[in-house]
Chain A
Amino acid sequence: MNLKDLLSPFFVWQRAFEKPYTTLRPTIDRPGAPAYRGFHINVSEECVGCGSCHAICQNQAIDMVAVEEFAGRKADSGLRPRFDYGRCCWCGLCVDICTAGSLRMSNEYAWITEDPTEFHFTAGVDDKPWQNNELGYRRAEGYHLYPPKRIEMDMLSPDESVQSFEEVARGYSEEQARKEADRCVECGICVATCPAHMDVPDYIHSIRDGDYEKGLQLMYRTNPFPATCGRICTRRCESVCPVGILGEPVAIRWLKRFIVDQVDAQDYQRILNDRISESGHRVAIIGAGPGGLSAAYYLRKNGHAVTVFEAHEAGGGMLRYGVPSYRLPDDDLDKDIDYIVSLGVDIRYNTRIGKDIDFEQLLADYDAVFLSTGLSVPSNMRIQGEQHARVLSGLQVLADVASGRDPGIGSQVAVIGGGNVAMDAARVSRRLGADVTLLYRRRIADMPADTEEIHESQEEGCHFVPQAIPVEIIAADNPQQVSIKWGEAEMVPDPKGGRPRPVLQEDRMHTDTYDCIISAIGQGSDLDFLSKEIQEQLAIEWGKFTPAEYQQSALKKIFVGGDVANRTADAISAIEDGHHAARGIERLLNPDKFTAK
């Protein structure tokens, strides 16, 4: 080694005092471009945890993880996206697909840490300095990876629809159904919200695959009334569909209907392939509505001999006698009922428990009893003059029309109420040729009826008079007519913070004359078939049962469900009650199957 080699390292030290060629912490002076695809921002409050970001990520860089803060929120899975920056390529597809528009990217791109596990983080939950960055990549306004608007259902025009009782909604074509099915992001938030927990994403997927038989099988797992629910379901699923946050929710109900409409009833046996092995147990069901027949279907599948006692001459309950055929044609209701009956369910029509057969006898003869008798007694207005012969009940008018009888409403009709019965009574009256005025105590926005029904009633020419309180029924000069005195109402705040309440303004009264007044202000239960002793043993509040787990009553052989045992009083809830009760009865009859071994 010569002397130069020995000293050269020391000469390098002189460089230490020169200006460096590299820049220390370059990002301080060089921020990302305004639309740069940098680190992710998620506005967790807006996110609903649909998982579309997870599904679309080509690098599998996004996991959906449970975040306690959001557990149990309505229309929310309670999950939030967790990013793995060892995998992310910052393509931005997750931002483009985000149904809630909560996911964005900041223009921050430098993150220096010695701990590599930090690059695995839950955006919007883990505290990061770029969470509130205004700059960065955002989805362009109006840009959607799926169409924000649903495929419109072909409907009869209002002018056409009032001419007959023909079904108003015409159904999707195959092309329309596939296009609409393509809008589903398969998040499954709808499954949690549906009372029957129908497997919505998978049956919609079956439409994409063109495999309608599979779709039918999936639906029957939790709902033996798909033809019915495909037409008149209250579709809570759609109210939580995340596609509806920035656009219109997927038309889940119409897609369900499409699947059922593609399958002939005669093929049901082959497709559903319900094989029954007799158990030797006997179960009685009171009421052949959706609750009773749903229980009958699942009980029969378990091999039990099922007898349904029905007071009317046909099955379906309110679906047949309360829902007019322009919304639910009899043939479609019968498609559901006929398959249940085909499994060997015995329905005894025109048989009223308490009159034709004692309830106690039923209780003695069967291993379990399911009560699903519905709400069949119309509430009275309890105002002066209500007993007038030209005051009709909405339920009776609908039952008359369903049975082919003329309800004799005349040509000028007033309907009182804002629920679905009132809407149907009004629309039926229009189809019978009457001019219809609908009086409602509160605002149109407060009406408990389905918004679609409200809209269609108005389109068909029903004249709505909101904030109108009936106070007296008065005999008209013409005995074929009747007058109603009503007063205008002002909405005032509820002192206890509830919804605003209507208060009658006594200085603004009106009297109008009609050919009839149809009262549709609500309905209650008829439990008179139960003895006082049994009633006292069952938990009943305000005319409704309050069942325990599996719809079981305080008397362990008696299970209850449907409108007479739930608050929602809709078909899908009754169907789930029936399914749930069937599971409860199975536990009662075959406890060994459920004992841990």
Chain B
Amino acid sequence: MNTVDEILDYAIDQEQQAADFYADLAGRAEKAGMKDILLEFAAEEQRHKERLLAVKTGEHELTPEQEVLDLKISDYLVEVETTDDISYQDALIVAMKRERAAYELYSDMAARIPESNLREVFVGLAREEAKHKLFFESEYDERVLVDN
């Protein structure tokens, strides 16, 4: 990945893969109501993809430089398996972990290259993923950690 477009294409592809992942899981979900939730997750990833497509065409800018709140919820949760009878709690953990991995990937890449336009793109993508992570962590905070 040597150009801004290549990086954005990669990120767009990742969002599409995430959307496909949730759509596939929704098709197999056995627990009551999980299908709709997973399709909502897939739609959320589609929105991320569309946002990046808009960045690529210049219609939109990546998240401006500002601190994105990190609730650090997913950081200390165990990995869960994406089985057909996945629960609400585990589906959110999967989503949080995926966003966290993407955030760390872009942050890591930004740290490895010298100050440049490309680096700014990685930093911007990392912030985008941090926002996505915050979205799912806030959901987890509200819906799962009800009494905690």
Contacts and interface: CB of A to CB of B under 8 A. Distances in A.
**Physical interaction between A and B:** yes
Interface of A: 379-384, 386, 416-419, 421-422, 440-441, 448-449, 469, 471-472, 492, 494-496, 498, 501-504, 506, 520-522, 524, 527-528, 530, 532, 535-536, 538, 540-543
A472 B32 contact: no
Given A380-B89, A448-B147, A535-B31, 16 more contacts: A382-B78, A384-B76, A417-B147, A418-B147, A440-B148, A472-B76, A501-B138, A503-B70, A503-B71, A506-B72, A528-B31, A530-B32, A536-B35, A538-B32, A542-B33, A543-B32
Contacts of A498: 138, 142
B76 A541 contact: no
A384 B147 contact: no
Given A495-B69, A496-B138, A542-B33, A471 B147 contact: no
A422 B147 contact: yes
B80 interface: yes
Interface in B63-77: 69-72, 75-77
Given A382-B77, A492-B69, A495-B69, A542 B148 contact: no
Nearest to A422: B147
A448 B146 CA distance: 8
Given A382-B89, A541-B33, A543-B88, A522 B77 contact: no
A421 B148 CA distance: 11
A417 B148 CA distance: 4
Contacts of B147: 417-419, 421-422, 448-449, 520-522
A386 B76 CA distance: 12
A524 B88 contact: yes
B125 interface: no
B78 A540 contact: no
B32 A379 contact: no
A542 B143 contact: yes
Secondary structure class of chain A's binding surface, majority of residues: loop
Q: By CB atoms of chain A within 10 A, which of B76, B80, B89, B144 has the most?
A: B76
A110 B101 CA distance: 77
In the complex, the 10 A-B pairs of residues with the closest C-beta atoms, listed nearest first: A419-B147, A540-B33, A521-B148, A535-B32, A471-B76, A540-B32, A522-B146, A522-B147, A504-B72, A527-B32
B6 interface: no
Contacts of A532: 30
B1 interface: no
A382 B80 contact: yes
Max count, chain B CB within 10 A of own CB: residue among A440, A448, A542: A542
B76 A379 contact: no
Interface in B92-125: 93
Contacts of A419: 146-148
Contacts of B134: 495
B36 interface: yes
Nearest to A387: B78
Contacts of A530: 32
A504 to B, nearest CB: 4
16 contacts: A382-B89, A383-B76, A416-B148, A421-B147, A472-B76, A495-B134, A501-B138, A501-B141, A502-B71, A503-B72, A504-B75, A524-B88, A535-B31, A538-B32, A540-B33, A542-B37
Scoring B75, B87, B146 by chain A CB atoms within 10 A of each residue's CB, the highest score goes to B146
Contacts of B33: 535, 540-543
Interface of B: 30-33, 35-37, 69-72, 75-78, 80, 87-90, 93, 134, 138, 141-148
A506 B93 CA distance: 20
B96 to A, nearest CB: 11
B138 A504 contact: no
Residue among B32, B71, B87, B93 with max Cβ neighbours from chain A (10 Å)? B32
A540 B37 CA distance: 10
A378 B43 CA distance: 29
A382 B140 CA distance: 12
A542 B88 contact: yes
Nearest to A539: B33
Given A496-B138, A532-B30, A379 B69 contact: no
Nearest to A472: B76
A384 B75 CA distance: 11
Contacts of A492: 69
A549 to B, nearest CB: 20
A535 B143 CA distance: 21
Given A492-B69, A496-B138, A543-B33, A379 B144 contact: yes
A419 to B, nearest CB: 3
Contact of B145 (A386, A441, A449, A535): A441
Nearest to B69: A495
Contacts of B31: 527-528, 535
A542 B89 CA distance: 9
A72 to B, nearest CB: 26
Contacts of B87: 524
A176 to B, nearest CB: 34
B82 to A, nearest CB: 14
Nearest to B142: A498
Nearest to B33: A540
A492 B70 CA distance: 10
Contacts of B148: 381, 416-419, 440-441, 521-522
A379 B89 contact: yes
A18 to B, nearest CB: 84
A384 B78 contact: yes
B133 to A, nearest CB: 13
A372 to B, nearest CB: 16
A501 B76 contact: no
Contacts of A386: 78
Contacts of A538: 32
Residue among B30, B31, B143 with most chain A CB within 10 A: B31
A448 B93 CA distance: 23
A362 B109 CA distance: 59
Contacts of B69: 492, 495, 501, 503
B76 to A, nearest CB: 4
A500 to B, nearest CB: 11
A522 B146 CA distance: 6
